Amino acid sequence: MNSQRLALFPITTRLEPGTNGEVMYIGGCDLTELAERYGTPLYLYDQASMDAAVDEYRSALHTYPNHSGITYAGKAFLCVAVAQWAVRRGLWLDCTGAGEISIAVAAGAPRGQILVHGVNKTAGDLRAAVAHAGVIVVDNLSELHHLAEVYTDQDDPFPDLWLRVRPGVAVDTHSYRQTGQDDSKFGMSYTETLEAVRLCHRQGLPLHGLHFHQGSHFHDPEPVGPAVARVLDLMVDLRRDSGWTPGYLCPGGGWGIPYHEDDLPHPSIEDYVRFVARRVEEGCEARDLALPILHLEPGRSLVARAGVALYRVGAVKQTPQRRWLLLDGGMADNIRPALYGARYSALPVADPIRPTAGAAWLAGPYCESGDVLIHELPMPDVAEGELIAVPASGAYHLMMGSNYNGALRPAVVWIRGGKSSLIQRREEIADLIRRDLPLEVE
């Protein structure tokens, strides 16, 4: 059971002999030492795991007969160092709004590698996108009208526009993470897309692509098939209506990962990519459409496994119903269990393959009974002061984090080849009051 859990951790995870049994190492670094050096809660990112995920996407995309590319969905986890990694690996960066664009720019991302998303982009978001992006994915007609106004006035290179289409099919995932269904807040309907293409042509806007995204964290690619078919049918209608065929097609991201040993074995990135590539290729052939450049837009499946959250147990509490392990982090750095019941697993860092002592509930320190990171997980006897490592923590944790109860955002450490380096410092008390102003009225 515990040894199966090890498979959820980064690919470089090893157990090495320590003073009291084995200790977990990731990327050649001893987790006990990292916790001492940087404190807890601590987030670790293992570059080798991220690189391996990119390689798996790339090698599977080789089966697609036209050009293809990968955009990293920064919403999963973005900071300057991660943006630099993505740019160096030749990935485009999907940025939502002016804030994420500024992170990409600070990392030195060139225009050609910045793609901008957003369901209700503000004028400021659009200004930043026009100034820095190579691609803007247009969510709706109001946004397109706004861009058309800006376009007439400006001389600089203008980003390519892709239209976000609602394919009317969502993937099988929690309803909070579904985006492709007909009543989703994201993207344009079939008729809105026809209208958008006509508008682009009337205004001479640089329209180059179509985009759709069906949801996040799915494990079965099957629903991507009907969505691809619908979008290709739309492409046939667009060709007839406006004489336009997109040069780029992006079926979004959303491929899931295993978070818990019960999720193993998990279908591979390669299974998913080959499925999508084949559907696009066959669908285009059947409709006599030119093969578009295929862009995938994964977030979670590139970085989630690379990330590990390290917590220290402050207290062990036994109530009549359960054993509580009280950790020094929780819903402020990982809201996913409270938000949509995400299930996680964990191991003690020292001597992780100890026999289980029954179920434990791993809870955070915050003033909410819902601040429970893991429910009913078979765990060994764990003592106060021990370190607990939670695998699959690299996506949608820190980006959705908060300062609830005055929580300080954790430090983030990059690990590669036996070396660690701080890529985000821990927040300090001063950060909590940095935006505050004294009351000036009596």
Ligand X SMILES: Cc1ncc(COP(=O)(O)O)c(C=O)c1O
Residues found near ligand X in the complex (CB under 6 A):
73, 75-76, 94, 117, 179, 213, 216-217, 252-255, 297-301, 395
Nearest residue to 234 via CA among 223, 245, 219, 225: 245
Q: Which is nearer to ligand X, 31 or 342 (CB)?
A: 342
Contact 307, 393 (CB under 8 A): yes
Contact 76, 302 (CB under 8 A): yes
Q: Which is nearer to ligand X, 40 or 216 (CB)?
A: 216
Catalytic residue among 29, 79, 95, 367: 367
Q: Which residue is closest to ligand X by CB?
A: 299
Q: Any catalytic annotation for residue 367?
A: yes
- Which residues partner with 16 through β-bridges? 23
User: Cα 150 vs. chain centroid, distance in angstroms?
Assistant: 31
Q: Which is nearer to ligand X, 272 or 366 (CB)?
A: 272
Q: Which is nearer to ligand X, 253 or 380 (CB)?
A: 253
Q: Which is nearer to ligand X, 119 or 423 (CB)?
A: 119
Q: Which is nearer to ligand X, 185 or 317 (CB)?
A: 185
Helix axes 80-88, 97-106, angle to 10 degrees: 70
Nearest residue to 87 via CA among 65, 64, 100, 104: 104
**CA atoms in the 13 A half-sphere facing the CB of 29:** 26
Q: Considering the complex, what minimum distance in angstroms separates the CB of residue 220 from ligand X? A: 14
Q: For residues 39, 42, 48 and 52, what is the CA-based torsion angle, rounded to 10 degrees? A: 170
Q: Considering the complex, what minimum distance in angstroms separates the CB of residue 331 from ligand X? A: 20
Q: Considering the complex, what minimum distance in angstroms separates the CB of residue 303 from ligand X? A: 8
Q: Considering the complex, what minimum distance in angstroms separates the CB of residue 363 from ligand X? A: 26
DSSP 21-48: EEEEEETTEEHHHHHHHH-SSEEEEEHH
Q: Considering the complex, what minimum distance in angstroms separates the CB of residue 297 from ligand X? A: 4
Residues 6+ apart with CB under 8 A from 399: 75, 76, 77, 78
Strand, helix or coil for residue 74: coil
Cα separation of 43 and 309, whole Å? Answer: 5
**How many other C-beta atoms are found inside a 10 Å radius of the C-beta of residue 119?**
15
Q: For residues 70, 73, 79 and 81, what is the CA-based torsion angle, rounded to 10 degrees? A: -20
Q: Considering the complex, what minimum distance in angstroms separates the CB of residue 302 from ligand X? A: 8
Residues 6+ apart with CB under 8 A from 269: 53, 56, 57, 60, 255, 298, 301
Q: Considering the complex, what minimum distance in angstroms separates the CB of residue 257 from ligand X? A: 9
Q: Considering the complex, what minimum distance in angstroms separates the CB of residue 218 from ligand X? A: 8
Contact 63, 274 (CB under 8 A): yes
Cα separation of 313 and 328, whole Å? Answer: 7
Cα separation of 162 and 284, whole Å? Answer: 19
Q: Which is nearer to ligand X, 143 or 297 (CB)?
A: 297
Q: Which is nearer to ligand X, 93 or 407 (CB)?
A: 93
Query: Which residues are tagged catalytic?
Result: 367
